A and B are shown apart, each in its own frame.
Chain A
Amino acid sequence: MNMQNEMPAVGAVKVYAAISGVVILLMMLFGLVMRMTQGQILPIEPNVFYQLMTAHGIGMVAIAGLGGSAVMWHFLGKYVNLRAGFAWANLAFFLTGVVLVLGGIFLGGFAAAWTFLYPLPANGMGMWGKHAAAAYMGGVLLVGVGMLLFYLESARAIIRKYGSFAKALGWHFLKSGQDAPPATVIASTVVTIINIIAILIGAVILTMMLINLYVPEIAIHPLLAKNLIFLFGHVFINSTIYMAVIAVYEILPKYTGRPWNVYKPFVWAWSATCLMVLTVYPHHLLMDYAQPLWMHIMGQIVSYTSSLPVLALTLTATLGSIYRSNIKWDLTSALLVLSIFGWSAGVIPAVIDGTIAVNQVMHNTLWVPGHFHLYLLLGCVTMILAFTNWIANKEQAAGFSGLEKAMLWVFAISAFAYALMFLLSGQASVPRRWAVHLPEWLAYSQVASLFAAGVVISAMAIIVRAMGGIIRPARQA
């Protein structure tokens, strides 16, 4: 039932990985420019800063989604029969959406942050018009439509193979202790369920806001809009990690010789995550005092519980699979292990910020990008880089040259220190999303810029090297 269909990475996955690598690098450059601007090293005007900020935010969310999809599609395809046409359709919607989003931002001047918080897109105050806002929101909607097709296809394929979501989640295994689905199938099923729900909710609020843009009389309650936006956004960005971590489940055993076994707590953990990731988003609205009290309390409690199960199991299983395994170290395996550290480390300040009393003094400070850069840059992106490197090496362990070791260490130290500078700034109450910083905050941004440059240089070396491996065989063919 769980026989793997071993096949090399095919066209769509390679194109996804290549696009992910290029866009990740571009977004890192945007991040460097923003930190240098905040440190008054670069003279960028605030309107351009906020455009870059909007592009960086939506670009990273989208590309983490695409990169994660590459991982999920590649490995899920070894267990179920996925039709490649849907991967290409997703890519077509993605690229069309990206053109609209970039047009809205850089031609239309749209800069309402990636979260497009209602009613800011309709209130550009001369900085952008409603057509630019419509291009941005329409573009995001198109990216969502492509992703929805992708997940509907994975849902179809999973149900066709396993009979139901319940079986693909391994619930029968909890009773019988037999015939557990592979970890990849369990994770993919969870992501499929939660992202179909999240994308539909995102499509609802985007459509409502597009209508409101041209028919302002049809208004939306801002608190309802905020709930819908953060439910969509939180689930989608969390799913990028849940897709990318499949690379750890699938690739790391090839280096350690120890299989990634599915056991009952693993099944429980992923099923619990399915519910908790959908109910944890109110921790983004802890400072909206008009929100019902029970939602605030639920937001804090689920913040503490939602990250724990899957992360704790993945963390201990990763360490357990490495310890005295005679693991073969190369860039791929090192990036995979680093990514689990980044994800685990990021969850610590994230959970702390989910505490209402802490959120009251940390909300919307640089503490927030501090924790998400740990688990997205050092977690999710690092998993995607490991996967890209893996397929570039034709899915085999490779050598580990001195240059690669140097690239890895520069990347790890720079990314870690870069995220810590955000946390340190947040601790000092420096606001997030400010183009111009007060004089007493400049040093934080200036030091952070140094580490950002380290991230860009090392990531560029890793990505360019991987791109060479991905493109070369195609040329030879």
Chain B
Amino acid sequence: MYQQVAWIVSIVLIALLAIAFFYVVKHSGREGNGAAVAAATGRWRGRLLWGVTLLSIPVVAYTLTELPYARSAIANLGTVEVQAKGYQWYWEISQTKLPVGKPIEFQVTSADVNHGFAIYGPDMKIVTQTQAMPGVVNVLRHTFEQPGTYKILCLEYCGVAHHSMMTELHVVAQ
């Protein structure tokens, strides 16, 4: 969902920006009252600053309420633990058949260099991700809502066969 939101919001805002530029460039030819234009510019500057600030505060506050960072100290009853380790250039996953509707805790690390542990849904869109870093365990919690074949793709460049570093998860109804 966030992919579509990001795309639509970006396109709409960039279009508004483009309209502002076209309007101003179109009206750049005939010289106007410099003082009046400067005053209008000041008003628009204030509107932009206040507008963006007022818009950003609720967006930032709302989006910070749902953070993906699982605290390893918080134990979830019924969580399925999966160890995932990245190697140049393959994944070692302790369990690839996973249940639908149950929280899964991926404990992600790397044996060599940095990798990116991204879970792609059956529609080949990212559903969640974390980094796989040597010497560090990143805890990623996710509950699969739909059964199907999910793919793990490496999203952190890790050498010549980076693009081949894929494996599959099979999410099944219980």
Contacts and interface: CB of A to CB of B under 8 A. Distances in A.
A227 to B, nearest CB: 12
Contacts of B125: 361, 428-429
B83 to A, nearest CB: 15
A364 B156 contact: yes
Contacts of B10: 348-349, 352, 423
A5 interface: no
A275 interface: no
A300 interface: yes
A1 interface: no
Contacts of A348: 9-10, 13-14, 17
Contact of A427 (B6, B56, B135): B6
B6 A362 contact: yes
A360 B140 CA distance: 11
Interface in A311-341: 312-313, 315-317, 319-327, 329, 337, 341
Nearest to B10: A349
B168 to A, nearest CB: 14
A320 B130 CA distance: 44
A326 B25 CA distance: 10
A443 interface: no
B157 A296 contact: no
A111 interface: yes
B28 A290 contact: no
A427 B3 contact: yes
A324 B31 contact: yes
Interface string A184-228: 000000000000000000000000000000000000011100100
Nearest to B116: A364
Main secondary structure of the interface of A (DSSP, over half): helix
Contacts of A113: 157
Interface string A290-302: 1001001100110
B135 A222 contact: yes
Interface string B126-141: 1111110111111110
Contact of A357 (B32, B33, B34, B63): B63
Nearest to B62: A357
A349 B6 contact: yes
B138 A289 contact: yes
Contacts of A258: 34, 38
B130 A287 contact: yes
A88 to B, nearest CB: 36
Interface in A102-120: 111-113, 117, 119-120
A301 B3 CA distance: 20
Given A326-B31, A361-B127, A222 B114 contact: yes
A326 B34 CA distance: 11
Contact of B161 (A46, A317, A345): A46
Interface residues of A, number: 81
Contacts of B114: 117, 120, 222, 226
B88 A125 contact: yes
A367 B120 CA distance: 16
B32 A337 contact: no
Nearest to A50: B160
A290 B3 contact: no
Interface string A410-447: 00000000000001101111011111111010000000
Contacts of A426: 3
Interface stretch (B40-48, B73-81, B94-102): B40-48
B37 A360 contact: no
Contacts of B14: 345, 348
A223 B134 CA distance: 9
A365 B28 contact: no
A265 interface: yes
A320 B138 CA distance: 48
B69 A360 contact: no
Contacts of B59: 304, 355
A324 B32 contact: yes
A124 B113 CA distance: 10
A279 to B, nearest CB: 15
Given A221-B135, A312-B45, A362-B2, 19 more contacts: A120-B157, A123-B113, A288-B131, A304-B59, A313-B45, A315-B48, A320-B38, A320-B44, A325-B32, A326-B31, A355-B59, A355-B60, A364-B129, A364-B156, A365-B155, A429-B124, A433-B157, A436-B164, A440-B124
22 contacts: A50-B159, A120-B157, A223-B135, A226-B133, A265-B45, A287-B131, A288-B130, A289-B70, A312-B45, A312-B48, A322-B24, A323-B41, A324-B27, A326-B31, A341-B18, A345-B14, A348-B9, A355-B60, A360-B2, A360-B128, A429-B120, A434-B162
